[in-house]
Amino acid sequence: MFKFETDAAIERIALGVIDRTLPKADWTHAAHFAAAVWLLRYRRDLTTASAIKGLIVAYNEATGTPNTDTGGYHHTITLASMRAASAHLGAYPETASLHCIANELMASPLGHPDWLLAYWRRETLFSIPARHEWTAPDLAPLPF
C-alpha cells in the first residue's frame, strides 16, 4: 500500500491540482483523498459542490482528460468522496499531521477504489445522470 511520508507530499498534490501542474499519472485514488483532506483543512472555499467541480474539471482539461458522459469529472463520486474525507478528517484533532490522516484513510475501507459500491449499485453509480448530478445511494445510506 502507498504511504504518504510528509504533509508536504499532501500539499504538493493539492496545489498541483489547484494550479493544474500535477502530472496526470500522479492523480491516483490516494491522491484524490490526499487533495480532499488538504482542501478541507486549508481551502474550504474550494470544497463546495460547485467549486470542487470547477477545480476538477479544469484540472482534467489541463491534463488532457475530457469531461464527458463516460469519463472525466463524476459529480456523485466526488461529492461522496468529499463527505467521506470530511468525516474522516473530523475524527482527528486539528493539529494531526495530514499525511498520517491520509494514510489512515487509505488503510480504511475508503482506501479501496470500489468502496462506493457498498452504497450504490454499479449501474446507478456509473450512469450518466450520476456523473453529472448528485444521485443518492440506492443500496445503503452513506454513514457520514
- Residue 137 domain flag: no
End-to-end CA distance of the chain: 25
Q: What is the pLDDT of residue 2?
A: 76
- Residue 60 domain flag: yes
Owner of C-alpha cell 461529492: 79
- Residue 144 domain flag: no
Assessment of whether the complete model's pTM goes beyond 0.85: yes
pLDDT tens digits, one per residue of 3-46: 999 999 999 999 999 999 999 999 999 999 999 999 999 999 99
- Residue 114 domain flag: yes
Distance (Å) of CA 41 to CA 2, 25, 47, 71, 99: 22, 24, 10, 28, 12
pLDDT band at residue 1 using 50, 70 and 90 as cut-offs: low
Per the structure, the complete domain to which residue 128 belongs is given by 7-132
- Residue 139 domain flag: no
pLDDT tens digits, one per residue of 36-76: 999 999 999 999 999 999 999 999 999 999 999 999 999 99
pLDDT band at residue 96 using 50, 70 and 90 as cut-offs: very high
